[in-house]
Amino acid sequence: MSKYRQWAIKLLIIVGCSLPMTTSARFPAKSPALTKSMLPRAMQPRYMPATTRSIAPFRLITDRLSMKQVVEVFGLPDRDIGSGIYIYIYDLADRSQVIIGSPDGKRLLYVIHSQANKQQSAELFRTGSPAKIVPGTVAKGIDRNACDFFKQWRAQLPKSTLNDCELKHGQLDLLIATYTVKGKDATIVEKLLQQRFQMGKLRFICCGWENPEQPGRYRRDGDSYQISMFSGETLEKDWRKIDRFHITVTKYLTEP
């Protein structure tokens, strides 16, 4: 059997949404590279980070996410090899691939991880099947631009640094950004968050500065966000003597 015929059979298996877990599903880069303009209208992102190249974040995908959210979190797929349905390929740094099927560019059918140089694939998700994710699982490896919410909002957070971007699966799917600001600059940031996002004033509670009762809230383009600010554990009352404060912005990928 020719290599072309073998490849065509594998493609038909995936299009039929019935890829066995023991079947190789690795696809060479024969299809043209995708550009944003080639995505269907339903998938057009408002912003798009660099493409994710590690497997860990993809393991948290469920059908609670739309294909548009997939692109906004994981970046642009490398190729679309589908015919009749969309089949998007993400090439990972370890030469494995993530294969995502969608019937309409809106909903997800399945997510498959195809190992590099191995005749085996692992099904990470399929519509109608029980979720395989442990609640509370957190994954990193996403481009930080996916979480740079203040930049996306065209709002400047002075003297701050974006340190972390995490995807968390639980009762809700969350995208969490963590910023830090030096203690000597924290008063400026607190006032900005109070004025723009109605966050309450920080209070000293036991062993640190926080405000759990009144976080900031924001809604943009149909998405909901929560903004919190706090110090690490400290007994210091003078903010100028505190090393740093943390600001977390949580984007609800699924609504509470």
Q: What is the pLDDT of residue 85?
A: 94
Q: What is the pLDDT of residue 12?
A: 39
Amino acid letter at 163?
N
Rounded CA-CA distance 129/109 in Å is: 10
Rounded CA-CA distance 20/13 in Å is: 8
Q: What is the pLDDT of residue 242?
A: 98
- Contact status, residue 197 vs residue 224, Cβ threshold 8 Å: no
CB-count exposure of residue 118 (10 Å: 0-12, 13-18, 19+): exposed
For CA atoms 229, 64, 61, 101, the dihedral sign is: negative
Paired strand residues for 247: 179, 229
User: How would DSSP label each residue in 142-182?
Assistant: S-GGGT-HHHHTT---TTEEEEEEEEEESSSEEEEEEEEEE
Q: What is the pTM of this model?
A: 0.84
Q: What is the pLDDT of residue 45?
A: 92
34: which DSSP letter?
P
Residue with tokens 């998007």: 88
13: which DSSP letter?
H
Question: What averages of pLDDT result for each successive group of 10 residues across the chain (256 residues)?
Answer: 44 43 52 88 93 95 93 96 94 95 95 82 87 86 94 92 95 96 97 96 95 93 95 96 98 90
Range 28-67 burial, b when 16+ CB lie within 10 A, else e? eeeeeebeeeebeeebebeebbebbbebebbbbbbbebbb
Q: What is the pLDDT of residue 70?
A: 96
CA 116 to chain centre: 23
Q: Which helix (H) or strand (E) holds 15?
A: helix 3-15
Q: Extract the tokens encoding 232.
A: 């690490």
Rounded CA-CA distance 62/127 in Å is: 8
User: How would DSSP label each residue in 65-91?
Assistant: S-HHHHHHHH---SEE--SSSEEEEEE
Q: Please calculate the CA angle 41-58-92 and round it to the nearest 5 degrees.
A: 95
Q: What is the pLDDT of residue 15?
A: 44
